[in-house]
Amino acid sequence: MGSVPTLSDVARKAGVSLATVDRVINGRPNVKARTTERVRAAMAELDYRPDPLAAGLARRKRYRFVYLLPVGTNAFMMDLANQIGGMSNWLSSNRASAETVFADVFEPGTLARAIDEIDRAVDGAAIIALDHPEVRAAVDRLVGDGVPVVTLISDAPASRRSRFIGIDNPSAGRSAGALMGRFSGGRTGSVAVLVGSLSLRDHVDRCFGFSQAIEREFPRLKILPVRETRDDRSLAQRETVELLQANDDLVGLYNAGGGNVGVAKAICAINGHNRPVVIAHELTPRSIEALKDGSYDAVLAQNPGHEARSAARILLASANGTSVIEEQERIRIDIFIRENLPA
């Protein structure tokens, strides 16, 4: 009738008990094939859909998830950690909770060890990974031990993680290249590229996309050899200053890594008229300020709140057998200029 069919309706229609229907729905063993079929038929006929909220209540299980983040004071990662904290009410009203652990992500061995140390009793893990055999192996061990894993922001593509939650970095690099070309208004000269490390997949992918876009569409721009900053603000500042001094034809600077505090400081120090076009990554207090005061021209970003929540929704869905709205879990490459900064 009007009202939604329940387990009891199915049981009655199939002429079996609640427990049996429960067994077939949840794929538990010990049901005769013919019985299974009768139940399936009844479910289909009634268009029965289990109520995940009631199931959660009855299961009296609470789900525990863990997020593995890099140590350090990186503004973006701190933002991410805050966003995870901000979900705690939502999680607990879904009988779940999240714990955050920190590890040195730059060193594969250390990261692998941190992954190995994750409590095998958790119901899911979101890991900021590294594309490295040791890390992949550690992820695979964790998955092998029955813990669903998603990678966050930085992927370990060949591993057994169920998903990667993050942006398409080559596309982000191409976007940076296209903006660089168009913002530099026809000028000819060189363009500098900074990364945290050339052994970080995401940074390298961004470089790759950037070069591709520049070479194909803006041959008037010449890309200088890439420099590494280790995402360190002082190092980033020093590199930027050197770059500015060594290249009087510098038209643009693309910071594909972290260290915006240092980069912005170096840019701010020079005369407004000679400033290169600067494009960087992630919305942080310093990069926002740089967009506002004109030292940065554009910032490419991924939304850490979205990523944190997406990981939680996906892990929760895999824990309690609910489903996910695919469209909602696609992480976009956000482009920010001064004018569309969030209020």
Interaction mask 46-85, a second copy, x per CB under 8 A: ---x-xxxx-xx----x--------------------x--
Distance CA(108)–CA(260), nearest Å, equals 24
| Residue 173 neighbours by CB distance under 10 Å | 29
Task: Based on the shown chain and the rule CB under 7 A, indicate whether residue 273 belongs to the binding site for DNA.
Answer: no
Q: By C-alpha distance, which of 290, 279, 286 is closest to 333?
A: 279
Region near a second copy per CB under 8 A, out of 23-31, 86-94, 192-200, 231-239: 86-94
Instruction: Choose from a second copy, DNA, none: what does 59 bind? Cβ within 5-8 Å by kind.
Output: DNA
Interaction mask 2-41, DNA, x per CB under 7 A: -xx-xxx------xxxxxx-xx-xx--xxxx-xx------
Distance CA(238)–CA(256), nearest Å, equals 16
Task: Based on the shown chain and the rule CB under 8 A, indicate whether residue 334 belongs to the binding site for a second copy.
Answer: yes
Closest to a second copy by CB, 27 vs 186, is 186
Residues with Cβ within 8 Å of 84's Cβ and at least 6 positions away in sequence, in order, are: 67, 98, 100, 308
Task: Render the burial of 246-263: b for 16+ CB within 10 Å, e for the rest.
Answer: ebeebbbbbbbbbbbbbb
Decide if 308 contacts 83 (C-beta within 8 A). Answer: yes
Residues 276-305 that bind a second copy (CB under 8 A): 297, 300, 303, 305
Q: How many residues bind a second copy (CB under 8 A)?
A: 55
Instruction: Choose from DNA, a second copy, none: what does 19 bind? Cβ within 5-8 Å by kind.
Output: DNA
Task: Based on the shown chain and the rule CB under 8 A, indicate whether residue 168 belongs to the binding site for a second copy.
Answer: yes
Dihedral pair phi/psi, residue 59, rounded to 5°: -70, -20
First to last CA, the chain: 48
- Stated as kind and residue range, the H or E segment containing 289 is helix 285-292
Distance CA(282)–CA(303), nearest Å, equals 8
Distance CA(113)–CA(315), nearest Å, equals 22
Amino acid letter, 250: L
Among the listed residues 20, 94, 211, 284, the single contact to a second copy using CB under 8 A: 94
Residues with Cβ within 8 Å of 330's Cβ and at least 6 positions away in sequence, in order, are: none
Instruction: Choose from a second copy, DNA, none: what does 245 bind? Cβ within 5-8 Å by kind.
Output: none
Binding interface with a second copy (CB under 8 A): 4, 49, 51-54, 56-57, 62, 83, 86-87, 89-90, 92-95, 168, 171-172, 174-175, 177-179, 182-183, 185-186, 209, 213, 297, 300, 303, 305-306, 309, 322-323, 325, 327-328, 330, 332-340, 342-343
Binding interface with DNA (CB under 7 A): 3-4, 6-8, 15-20, 22-23, 25-26, 29-32, 34-35, 48-51, 54-55, 57-61
